[in-house]
Copies of this chain bind each other. A is one copy, B any other.
Amino acid sequence: MRFGFPRWTRKQDPSARAAKERLQVLLAHERAGGPGPDVFPELQRDILAVIKRHMKIDDDAVDIQMERGEGQSSLEINIELPAARG
């Protein structure tokens, strides 16, 4: 797998990077024909709802970044999960 969590440390102070559980979701939509219907807001809402069905997440531990370009849009969801144990 080519990607991981390089960006976590960017927003985390050293102590916050200790025993954490994290989920990162990245979406990239490339439209060869230029702009089209923007489905990312609905995808974001529904994907978060799916994640909440399977994992316990606090809304204030969810960081969302969306970028829209001419032919490419991207969505990044970073979620810090309550540590499963101890």
Using CB atoms and an 8 Å cutoff, list the residues of chain A in contact with chain B: 1-8, 18-33, 36, 39, 42-43, 46-47, 50-51, 53-55, 65, 67, 72, 74, 76, 83-86
Alpha-carbon gap, A65 to B84, bound state (A): 25
Contacts of A47 on B, CB cut-off 8 Å?
47, 50
Nearest opposing residue in chain B for A72, CB measure: B4
Partner of A1, one of B8, B28, B43, B51: B28
Contacts of A27 on B, CB cut-off 8 Å?
23-26
Partner of A42, one of B30, B54, B72, B85: B54
Given A1-B76, A33-B86, A54-B42: A25 and B22 interface contact (C-beta under 8 Å): no
